[in-house]
Chain A
Amino acid sequence: MFLKRQMPAIIAIGVGLFILFGHFINNPNIQGFVNNDATQWFDIIASFAIFLGALNMLKLQVVKVVKRSKGWQYSLLAIFGFAFAIFAGFFFRGANYITLTEINPHKVNILVEYISTIQEVDDPVLMASRIEGSLASYEIPKIFISKATAESFAVSLSSIANNVTLGVKPWGAHVQIKGSLFSWMFFKIFTPLSSTMFALLAFFVASASYRAFRIRNFEATLLLVSGIILMIGRVPVGELVPWWLVSTLIVFGIGALIAPFIPNKKLLFGIIIGGITLSSGIGVLLDWNLAVNIPGFLSLPNISEWIFDYPTAAGSRAIMIGIALGTIATSFRIILGIEKPF
């Protein structure tokens, strides 16, 4: 019972207070622990904890496959994906490379041609000059996933250089090297899948906006109007919206605001028409048609920038302060042991 209840609380309170006040204590060991070691402890624990999660996920998928539950084929895909990533990361480097030493300077162009058969060469002249600058030792800028492919290509290069050696990139670096199996998996499978999921947001934003942006009350109307201004103002189409359209919309907006106070609809209509005529007339007189000296408030991109710089920044700051205070209070409760989420 002590291990399950009191011990976690003691650890949380002790470490919490130590880290909090450690920021202020003038001791290099404490500063080092607080600034570096404490976070690294968490990273190490989290890295080992990944096994728990991965095993749990595997267990659930395997059970689905064994029991032939509904959609078990997708579980098979999940298990295969998991196994493939482990294989590409831990068991199969797939990052073979070829190094040529003592290259024959008269065969540099032939070498460039050979390389262009296995990968795209944007600038053969630049590549040739690079090879000429490294005749003593040059690494072919191509990573081969399989050793067999590397070997067969190496055979074709034997007449070009004195020595053709095969190498494998070190463990760890093989994950990052472009062309390796893991890198291939990342760019050809993971990247399109992630991009697709993110792209779904565009469709969901459209359906959410369509459903939610309604003129129900003043706040909803404000949300709608600022949303439309920002959506159009932030893209190049905003530059194409003419000043007179913006001034007309502003007049309509003012009309909507004063409408509850003017019961006579004909008078209201007259005011709106008068406002539109006046603003358009002023624009024509001041040569706004020539797209010079247009006031900032008649340009949608300028209005959207103003919304970003002032109301958005102010609201964002207020929410940030509120969230920061909430975070402080929650942290305080955890440090004092009042709240025990563990």
Chain B
Amino acid sequence: MNNKLLVICASTLIVILTYWVTYGFWFITGNAPTFVGIIIVSATIFYYIDAAKSGKEIYLRPISGLKAIEEAVGRATEMGKSVLFVPGISDMDQVDTVAGINILGHVAEITAKYETELNVPTCRAIVMESARESCRESYLRAGRPDLYYDDMVHYISDDQFAYAAGVNGIMIREKPAACFYQGKFYAESLLLAETGNSIGAIQIAGTGSASQIPFFVTACDYTLIGEEFFAASAYLSNKPELIGSIKGQDIVKLMVMILMTGIFVLDIFRQMGLIDFNILILLGLN
């Protein structure tokens, strides 16, 4: 068996044992399933990050939306138009926004390489600052710091619909050839996507807001659904540690599916009277 796997398994067991022994003393009561879940998930993701860094080949299925990013920026360059990037309407405390800023970094690097204009209207001041840092870094990495200027990332309004109105106005006036919607969105998603459609822009969307995914799927050319959006930064960077975390995430999902199926079957058996013990109470889920 792999040494590293042994080390990780042993560490996980030690942490869980420590938690169990000091439960109620060092650790508060009532959170045991959450704690154990976090440790197992962390250990799994950590193992695969390590495996990827050691050179293990990890296959990730192609995601058309991510492959289309460079194509979209190229299209904007050929048409002599700008690229619009909308990082959502939430603040940096939402992971969706963080994921969106990661993708912005990659898009900014491509626009720097192609010398295409980039416009990033933001809904929150902190997001504006983070996005500026990300763009500045990307332009520096691409060797074109001269093309970067602060006002390419600008603030519009904190209010959802005032922001949507502002972005729609930018789209209709400046007619960008490529529009990226990557972040947390609410009801304004369809307003943005339809306006982008009306100006003939190529649109690539990605969000963790489950209720907005159908609107983006309907109106955009490419949509990153759910986890694809969070995996985008790993895909685009091609860094082994990031790709390893995607694999770890998938293994965790497999574990969750097996656990759900097992609990479902055991509970059916209990309800049929075939077994006595209640798996839900055992796992602290009831």
> Are chains A and B touching in the complex at the 8 Å CB cutoff?
yes
A24 and B95 contacting across the interface, CB-CB below 8 Å: no
Highest count of chain A CB atoms <10 Å: which of B128, B230, B248:
B230
Tally B residues with Cβ within 8 Å of A: 74
Taking Cβ atoms with an 8 Å cutoff, the residues of A that contact B are 20, 23-26, 31, 42, 45-46, 49-54, 56-57, 60, 70-71, 193-194, 197-198, 200-201, 204-205, 207-209, 211-212, 316, 319-323, 325-334, 336, 338-339, 341-342
List CB contacts (< 8 Å) of B178-220 with chain A. Answer: 187-188, 190-191, 193-194, 197, 208, 210, 213, 215, 218-219
Residues of A within 8 A of B159 (CB): 194
A53 and B191 contacting across the interface, CB-CB below 8 Å: no
B218 and A56 contacting across the interface, CB-CB below 8 Å: no
A52 and B128 contacting across the interface, CB-CB below 8 Å: yes
A57 and B210 contacting across the interface, CB-CB below 8 Å: no
Q: Count the A-B residue pairs with Cβ separation under 8 angstroms: how many? A: 163
7 contacts between A and B (CB under 8 A): A46-B126, A49-B129, A51-B125, A319-B213, A323-B208, A328-B41, A333-B242
Q: Does B24 contact A (CB under 8 A)?
A: yes
Taking Cβ atoms with an 8 Å cutoff, the residues of B that contact A are 19, 24-28, 31, 34-35, 38, 41-42, 45-46, 49, 91, 93, 95-96, 98-99, 101-102, 105, 122, 124-126, 128-130, 133-134, 151, 154-159, 161-162, 164-165, 173, 187-188, 190-191, 193-194, 197, 208, 210, 213, 215, 218-219, 225-227, 229-231, 233, 241-242, 245-246, 248-249, 252-253, 256
A252 to B122, CA, bound (A): 49
Q: Which of A26, A71, A320, A338 contacts B27 (CB 8 A)?
A: A26
Highest count of chain B CB atoms <10 Å: which of A194, A207, A319:
A319
Q: Given A56-B155, A323-B210, A204–B230 Cβ distance below 8 Å?
A: no
Residues of B within 8 A of A339 (CB): 102, 233, 242
A57 and B157 contacting across the interface, CB-CB below 8 Å: yes
A198 and B187 contacting across the interface, CB-CB below 8 Å: yes
Q: Which of B95, B125, B164, B242 contacts A52 (CB 8 A)?
A: B125
B102 and A193 contacting across the interface, CB-CB below 8 Å: no
A336 to B31, CA, bound (A): 23
